[in-house]
Structures are given as structure tokens and as C-alpha cells.
Amino acid sequence: MKDDLSKVANWIVTIILLACFSSAIAKESGTIRFSFAPGENISFTQKLTTMKEKDMGDKGKQLDESVSTTRITISKTKFGWDVLAEPISIAMKRNGEEINNPIVSLLSSAVITYKLDFDGNILDVNGYEPFIEGISNQVTPEVFKQLAPILNIEAMKSKEIAEWNARIGDYVGAEVQIGDSFVADVPYQLPNGTTINYSVQTKIAALIPCGDNKCVRIEQAYDSQADNLAKMAGKVASNVADAVAPETNKPSSESNTAVIKGTVTRVIDPNTMLIYEEESKRTIAMEIDIPGAGLVPVKTSEIRKYEFEY
């Protein structure tokens, strides 16, 4: 009888210990909520290094390198937040040769302002007009006409808004746990004007130190060939996926010959939504209509690395 009571007591102690241990684990890996709260007036530098290689087969290769440093200032306003991006320096090379032309100079003076609401959702982007006017004064009307599709203010705004949402906006207010993953279909416009859909898998990978805080490491992998992405492990949170890529935003046309794939790693403080590290790798394979050569298969590989100094 004593032995039975002793066993029961041991079981009770074991259950209590397991409950405490499980509670500790749950607390450590509990729900993480993303909130945009960077501080009422904060300023920091952002360095972006980009390497892009374009392989045109028999037509040769082209290597573009650029390094830009930008002063980012975030200020609270009575309408929400202003994020001011002021270029400090920019350097560009093509096949090892420095690029010195008026457009590079204009890029160095283009000050862009992102307008956000109080939650960090982007409302508008301003500041392109002087940049576009400067280009129109530097090139011939014929050249400016050729550049018109990429110098369209609304198109430029849409690109910046999409990038803000992919890096920050889509996470505002989200509640996740370490290990969560979800998949979404996202449209992407290629340089040749066609649009394709690709699947992107996002994983909330780990909680890691960053300064005096704890940051979340987010890992993403995307591929326009859905069967390749399907081989990747992870669970699908359809409600989050719908929020990231609503049906109303999906294009009606797409290219069947283009392929895009890549990865992104980002370290972000969920309590402020300031980014501390980011690196992306992307490959695009498609056909480009080159004058005198017709449709040429082109493979573009790009690496982008962000560094921040707070």
C-alpha cells in the first residue's frame, strides 16, 4: 500500500514538473505580435549592396554592381508617420567600369517620403516629380519616350508600396509563433512587361538577439513553378495568405515562358518593426526581344543585401 501511495505521489510530482516545464516552453515560444512603433523621431542609415548578372548566352554576360547609402528618418505626424529617405551616396558599375551619367546623379538627389497611417500601413509615396523632370531635361525627347513606361509616377509608387508591404506592411498586426509558416500567390511584373504569379512560402524561423531586444528571423522562398515549392515543408495558414495576396490583386494575364525563384532572409524587431538584417537572392529566366536578334533567352541573377546602422 505504501509502495502504491509512493508511486501515486511520484506520478503527481512528475505531472506537476511536466506542467511547469510545458508552461515555461509555451511562455518562451508564445505568440509574437508585430507592431509598428519605431519611436517618434528616429534616424538611421541604410546601406544597400546589389549585384546583378545578366546571362544572354551567345550575346555575352553583363555584371551590374551598385552600392547606395540612404539616411532614413521616421517622424510621427498628426496623420500617422512620415518615413523620409534621403540619399547620401550612390555608386554604380557595369562590367567593372564606373557609371557616370546624369541619371546616377539624379538618383543621388531623389528624396522620397513614405506616408503611413498610425499602424504603419502605407498610404502614399511622394517625391518622384523632381527626379522625372530632371531626367526629361537631361535626355532627348526620343530617349525620354522610351523611358516613359518605367518613369510613370503611378507605376513607381506601386512598386515602392509593394516593396514596403512585402517587407513591413503585410506583417503589421500579425500574431505568429516561432515555427509558423504560410504560403501565398503573388503577382510580379517582369522587365519585358509580362506578369507571372509565383508562390512564396514565409516561415517564422527563430527568435534571436538584436542589440538589447529580441528579433524575429523570417525566411522566405519563392518559385513560379508551384511543384518545386510544394516540395518544401511547412503548414499553410490560408487566412494569412489571403491577407498577403487578395484575389482582387491577382492579374488576369501571365507569361508561360518566364520563371522566377529566390530566397529572402530578414531579421526584424516585432515591437518596432525596424529591420536589422536582410538579404535576398533572385533568379529570373525569360525571353527578351533584342533589336536585330529577336527573342533571346536571358537569365538574370541578383543578390541584394541591406545593412543598417542605428
Segment 21-61, tens digit of pLDDT: 333 333 345 899 999 999 989 999 999 999 999 998 888 89
What SS3 class is residue 229?
Answer: helix
More confident residue, 182 or 14: 182
Handedness of CA 106, 111, 116, 120 (dihedral sign): positive
Q: What is the pLDDT of residues 207-238, one digit of tens each?
A: 999 878 899 999 999 988 655 544 443 333 33
Nearest CA to 173 out of 76, 239, 247, 74 is that of 239
Q: How does residue 145 score in pLDDT terms, banded at 50, 70 and 90?
A: confident
More confident residue, 23 or 158: 158
Q: What is the C-alpha to C-alpha distance for residues 88 and 96, in angstroms, rounded to an integer?
A: 22
Grid cell digits, residue 155:
507605376
Residue 219: what pLDDT?
98
Residue 108: what pLDDT?
81
Q: What is the C-alpha to C-alpha distance for residues 241 and 198, in angstroms, rounded to an integer?
A: 13
Grid cell digits, residue 200:
512564396
Q: If you average pLDDT over each of 44-48, 150-154, 191-195, which comes out highest?
A: 44-48
Count the helix, strand and coil residues of the chain and give each as a percent rounded to the nearest 5.
Answer: 30, 45, 25
More confident residue, 131 or 310: 310
- Please answer whether residues 300 and 195 qualify as being in contact, where contact means their C-beta atoms are separated by less than 8 angstroms: no
More confident residue, 270 or 5: 270
- Please answer whether residues 288 and 192 qualify as being in contact, where contact means their C-beta atoms are separated by less than 8 angstroms: yes
- In b/e form, how buried is each residue of 225-263, taking b as 16+ CB within 10 angstroms? eeeebeeeeeeebeebbeebbeeeeeeeebbeebbbbbe
Residue 142: what pLDDT?
86
Q: What is the mean pLDDT of the chain?
A: 80
Q: What is the pLDDT of residues 83-132, one digit of tens each?
A: 999 999 999 999 999 988 777 778 788 899 999 999 999 999 999 888 88
- Please answer whether residues 82 and 95 qualify as being in contact, where contact means their C-beta atoms are separated by less than 8 angstroms: no
Kindly give, in sequence order, each residue whose CB lies less than 8 Å from that of residue 174, ignoring residues fewer than 6 positions away: 33, 34, 240
Residue 100: what pLDDT?
82
Q: What is the pLDDT of residues 274-294, one digit of tens each?
A: 999 999 999 999 887 777 777
Q: What is the mean pLDDT of residues 170-198?
A: 81
User: 0.95 exceeded by the pTM?
Assistant: no
Q: Scan for cell 564606373, then name that residue.
A: 98
Nearest CA to 276 out of 228, 240, 250, 308 is that of 308
Q: What is the mean pLDDT of residues 79-86?
A: 97
Residue 29: what pLDDT?
52
Q: What is the C-alpha to C-alpha distance for residues 228 and 264, in angstroms, rounded to an integer?
A: 17
- In b/e form, how buried is each residue of 65-102, taking b as 16+ CB within 10 angstroms? bbebbbebebebeeebbebbbebeebebeeeeeeeeee
pLDDT at 264 over 70: yes
Residue 256: what pLDDT?
47
Grid cell digits, residue 220:
522566405
What are the C-alpha distances in Å from 13 to residues 10, 18, 24, 87? 5, 9, 16, 63
pLDDT at 17 over 70: no
- Please answer whether residues 168 and 270 qualify as being in contact, where contact means their C-beta atoms are separated by less than 8 angstroms: no
Which of 41-55, 190-204, 241-255 is predicted least confidently?
A: 241-255
Which of 164-168, 195-199, 254-258 is predicted least confidently?
A: 254-258
